[in-house]
């Protein structure tokens, strides 16, 4: 395959990212860097096979990161997000029955941290990707 001979495949991109990820090991774990590489690969596929244009993020415009599983990297356990030595308590509304029921009935596949600017202030959210069907 000509693409693979030039190192243009998802897993070769993972290997390339792994070499450079060590410079940011303090901030980005290997699972998160692999997930970023997979996102980049999907964008490359769109450019190569669907004729879409590449869209580049400026420095500081990266608004979300996610892990590959809830076992390593970005993890959520007992209303706390753990990531590379960071311990981030999560506030959940007491009246939010949907969240309580979802956490009680389903397992977490992976977590995503999202930064939003609300009234000029940076606010961070955790999005939990769950297995199964959402409660009614």
Domain span at residue 118 reads 57-136
Q: How confident is the model at residue 111 (pLDDT cuts 50, 70, 90)?
A: very high
Q: What is the pLDDT of residue 7?
A: 80
Dihedral sign from CA coordinates of 109, 60, 19, 13 = positive
My answer on whether 63 and 128 are in the same domain is yes
My answer on whether 51 and 65 are in the same domain is no
Q: Which helix (H) or strand (E) holds 35?
A: helix 30-49
What residues pair up with 128 in beta bridges, in sequence order?
Answer: 111
My answer on whether 52 and 14 are in the same domain is yes
My answer on whether 48 and 67 are in the same domain is no
My answer on whether 65 and 33 are in the same domain is no
Number of domains in the chain: 2
Burial of 66 (0-12, 13-18, 19+ CB in 10 A): buried
Q: How confident is the model at residue 22 (pLDDT cuts 50, 70, 90)?
A: confident
> Per-residue pLDDT tens for 69-80?
999 889 999 999
Strand order across the 108-118 sheet? 64-66, 108-118, 121-130
Res. 2: pLDDT tops 80: yes
pTM: 0.79
Given a contact cutoff of 8 angstroms between Cβ atoms, the answer to whether 34 and 46 are in contact is no
């Amino acid at each position: 395959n000509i693409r693979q001979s030039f190192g243009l495949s998802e897993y070769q991109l993972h290997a390339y990212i792994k070499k450079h990820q060590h410079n940011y090991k303090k901030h980005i774990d290997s699972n998160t860097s692999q997930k970023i590489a997979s996102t980049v690969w999907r964008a490359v596929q769109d450019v190569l096979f669907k004729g879409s244009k590449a869209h580049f993020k400026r420095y500081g415009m990266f608004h979300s990161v996610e892990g590959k599983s809830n076992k390593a990297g970005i993890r959520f356990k007992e209303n706390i997000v753990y990531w590379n030595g960071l311990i981030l308590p999560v506030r959940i509304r007491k009246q939010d029955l949907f969240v309580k029921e979802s956490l009680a009935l389903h397992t977490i596949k992976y977590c995503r941290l999202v930064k939003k600017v609300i009234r000029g202030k940076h606010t961070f959210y955790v999005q939990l990707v769950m297995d199964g069907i959402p409660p009614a």
